[in-house]
Structure 1
Amino acid sequence: MAVPRPQTRQFEAFMTNLSYARRMVEAGRMLTPFNSPTIDIDDFYRAAWVQAVAAIDHWLHEEVLRRVAELAAKDSPDMPYQLRVYELPLHTVEAVQKGDVTLSDAVVEHLRDKLAAQSLQHPGKISEVLKLVTDRKVWYLSAGWINKTFFQGRTSLNEKTLRSRYLEITQRRNKIAHDADLIDGDLKQRRPIDEASVNDAIDWIERIALAIAHVLDEEG
């Protein structure tokens, strides 16, 4: 059974970016039989891994900004605590008071600048940022939703194991992006990678994004 996806521009962009990763895997699979001496098929898989992590990182940034804009525009006392106490520079506060910019736009632009240099590739950092849009225990609830939706309750997936799985995926991405995926202490030999492991990582990234979106949509 297909799992319903959020009908937002941000999530559609995420799925498009994830499809790029899947196509890289498919390209690697199709080229494997040719056994070319000039092409390292594993590099297609490594590129797909990096692309998949970039897809969820980008989505998390855009999703938080979208939800912050909506919450700030409501100016409700029920908004998450971290957003209620969010601090703006004095010159921005003055611009809001003068009517030069709306409060919602001011908060979003300031947050966009703050997040621009931050990657959301660590579960703790994701939790911290998501506190701006929810007071719920996102990783705990996401684990339960994934377990029920994708595995019909047959797994022991919990908050700790879900965080660990995500961290394993992003750490491998960092090895690829920053260390050329070389085995520690070796300047030539790279870590093994194959189609199955990359597809599994991509599937987990999609599940995690779907779960987080579902938990956020259930807010309130």
Structure 2
Amino acid sequence: MQQALDAFEQAMVRARELHGLHASLSAQLTAAVDLSDILRSEIVMAVSAFDFFIHELTRLGMLECYGAIRNRTDAFNKFPIPIGVMIGVTPATLEAEIRSRHGYVSFQQPDKVADAVRLFSPVSLWVEVGASVGVDAKTLKTNFGLIVDRRNKIAHEADIDPSYPNQRWPIDRAQVEYTFDLVERVARAIFAVTV
């Protein structure tokens, strides 16, 4: 399971390096050069790192359930597997099926993250993660959901405010740093409460 956290940490290093590039370029260039899309890409990278982390953690956790390393959850027991895969199922075929089933699913919104974690862990995810980071579950889910919503505006709507005159939504370094901080704290807390 550690490899999921390690991969997340490496992806966040890349996002933070981009943040450093933004700082360096901002110090050297005038305000006439718009560098805000670097900040937008940093938010996309941070949420992508988190999504990948949840995918990896879930895959590894489910394989541990299959191998009787951890207790099987109700969600694990209900995970649909085609009959063709069930005949002679091995860890490799199960892993391939998990990757296939989850390949088009994003684990970013809080409820989707909780659904993924239930496939390998019985924890009351957002209650325990909230306690770990010192925020009540409802507030944490709301704040995390807002980060994901902003990522979606950037990735799917070009970060354009639909009201006239169709300007991009404002962004600054503080927003990105808040995103990094919350995403990292949540990912590490999820790891801590599920392993």
TM-score (norm 1): 0.83
Could you tell me how far 1:108 is from its partner in structure 2? 2.2
Which residue of 1 is the match for residue 119 of structure 2? 132
Question: Following the alignment from structure 1 to structure 2, what is the Cα–Cα distance between the partners of residues 86 and 171?
Answer: 28
Q: Compared with structure 1, are the counterparts of its residues 75 and 204 closer, same or farther at alpha carbon in structure 2 (3 Å cutoff)?
A: closer
Matches within 5 A, 1:56-205: 56-74=50-68, 78-96=71-89, 102=90, 104-147=91-134, 157-186=135-164, 188-205=166-183
2:3 is aligned with 1:9: yes
Could you tell me how far 1:43 is from its partner in structure 2? 1.0
Question: Following the alignment from structure 2 to structure 1, what is the Cα–Cα distance between the partners of residues 16 and 10?
Answer: 10
Question: Following the alignment from structure 2 to structure 1, what is the Cα–Cα distance between the partners of residues 123 and 69?
Answer: 19
Question: Following the alignment from structure 1 to structure 2, what is the Cα–Cα distance between the partners of residues 127 and 110?
Answer: 20
Question: Following the alignment from structure 1 to structure 2, what is the Cα–Cα distance between the partners of residues 52 and 84?
Answer: 32
Query: Where does structure 2 lack aligned partners over 5 or more consecutive residues?
Result: none
2:45 is aligned, of 42, 51, 59, to 51
Give the fraction of aligned pairs with identical amino acids, expressed as a percent: 27
Contact 1:45 1:198 in 2 (8 A): yes
SS of residue in 2 equivalent to 1:74: coil
Question: Following the alignment from structure 2 to structure 1, what is the Cα–Cα distance between the partners of residues 168 and 80?
Answer: 45
Question: Following the alignment from structure 1 to structure 2, what is the Cα–Cα distance between the partners of residues 61 and 112?
Answer: 8
Q: What RMSD in Å do the two structures reach over aligned CA positions? A: 1.7
Query: Where does structure 1 lack aligned partners over 5 or more consecutive residues?
Result: 1-5, 97-101, 148-156
Could you tell me how far 1:188 is from its partner in structure 2? 4.2
Contact 2:54 2:116 in 1 (8 A): no
Question: Following the alignment from structure 1 to structure 2, what is the Cα–Cα distance between the partners of residues 176 and 83?
Answer: 34
Contact 1:69 1:105 in 2 (8 A): no
1:35 is aligned, of 30, 37, 44, to 30
Question: Following the alignment from structure 1 to structure 2, what is the Cα–Cα distance between the partners of residues 187 and 35?
Answer: 24
Deviations 1:72-101 (A, max 9, x none): 01287x4211112333211111233xxxxx
SS of residue in 1 equivalent to 2:170: coil
Moved over 6 A (4+): none
Question: Following the alignment from structure 2 to structure 1, what is the Cα–Cα distance between the partners of residues 9 and 63?
Answer: 22
Deviations 1:122-157 (A, max 9, x none): 11111111111111101100000111xxxxxxxxx2
